[in-house]
Amino acid sequence: MQVASVSRRALAGSMLILTLTACGGGGGSSVSPASPQSQGDVQAYCEAKRAFETAPSPAVDFQSASPEEVVEAGKSYAATTLLPIFDNLVATAPPEVLDASKLLHSGMTRLQETGDFFLFNAPEYGAAQAATHLFDRENCGWGRVNLTTTDYAFEGVPETLPAGTVSFDVTNRSDTEIHEMAILKKADGVTEPIQELLGPSAIAPPEKTTLVVDGLAQPGSSSYEVADLQPGNYAMVCFVHVGATHQNPQGDGPPHHAKGMVAEFTVN
């Protein structure tokens, strides 16, 4: 869960807040974070960061909600979900990531006060998130998968992965297309290939699949998503339509998965 790169299902929607760097609009300036002193407990820090990265999305439909409803959702989400996590995170952050963690904490405080998800467009939040993620990958014991997206394929998807927390680091090699990495877990007993389950649709059948994590990468950019993987069968899918942009989320062609942009793997 990042709060800094464009992410998730609707190009203009709910995943903006789950990526500490992209949200578009808004801007924002640095503020002096007021937060607890760090005790430098790496294990506790990593658990708090994992909780942040895998936290549920806010309970609002960004495509249909009014601006007032989005603001109230932002305030509530920060107060009930994000700030409790970041209180623990800053209280345990090692010295290497203490300043970055405090800055992110200050952003969550501002979100609680303003309900403005776009404040995370400020570049300092993206830099802080990137710095903490580098530390997390080296010190938190998470699995890591390096992926490349092209037009129209995923490259680097392993056939099997061990269960547990995994960081999927994605580089979009396309010159023109936004690409999505949606990871779906198949329901127990579902054996059909993912292409057969999806057909021509841009919607995964909820009775047969569960969305685990979802993120977007702009052309020529990199992003990441962290997932807690349980044993089972999974699929990686790009639901973005050919030619999609933030101004035209429906694009001018079929979803990328209809052009073969899927991959399947098993978690043991």
Ordered structural domains, the chain, with CATH: 14-139 (no CATH), 143-267 (2.60.40.420)
SS (H, E, C) the chain: CCCCCCCCCCCCCHHHHHCCCCCCCCCCCCCCCCCCCCCCCHHHHHHHHHHHHCCCCCCCCCCCCCHHHHHHHHHHHHHHHHHHHHHHHHHHCCHHHHHHHHHHHHHHHHHHHHCCHHHHHCHHHHHHHHHHHHHHHHHCCCEEEEEEEECCEEECCCCEECCEEEEEEEEECCCCCCEEEEEEEECCCCCCCHHHHHCCCCCCCCCCEEEEEEEEECCCCEEEEEEEECCEEEEEECCCECCCCCCCCCCCCCEHHHHCCEEEEEEC
Per-residue pLDDT, averaged over 125-153, amounts to: 95
Select the more confidently predicted residue: 3 or 172.
172
Per-residue pLDDT, averaged over 242-251, amounts to: 86
Per-residue pLDDT at 36 exceeds 60 = no
- Give the pTM: 0.82
What's the pLDDT at 206? Answer: 87
What's the pLDDT at 14? Answer: 37
What's the pLDDT at 118? Answer: 87
Select the more confidently predicted residue: 3 or 71.
71
Per-residue pLDDT at 134 exceeds 70 = yes
Select the more confidently predicted residue: 29 or 150.
150
Give the model confidence (pLDDT) of 77-108 as tens digits.
999 999 999 999 999 999 999 999 999 999 99
What integer best gives the mean pLDDT of the chain?
85
Q: How confident is the model at residue 33 (pLDDT cuts 50, 70, 90)?
A: very low
Give the model confidence (pLDDT) of 185-238 as tens digits.
999 999 999 999 998 777 788 899 999 999 899 999 999 999 999 999 999 999
| Percent of the chain's residues with pLDDT above 90 | 68
- Dist CA 44 CA 237 (whole Å): 33
Q: Which of 14-23, 84-93, 148-157 has the lowest mean pLDDT?
A: 14-23
Per-residue pLDDT at 11 exceeds 50 = no
Q: How confident is the model at residue 120 (pLDDT cuts 50, 70, 90)?
A: confident
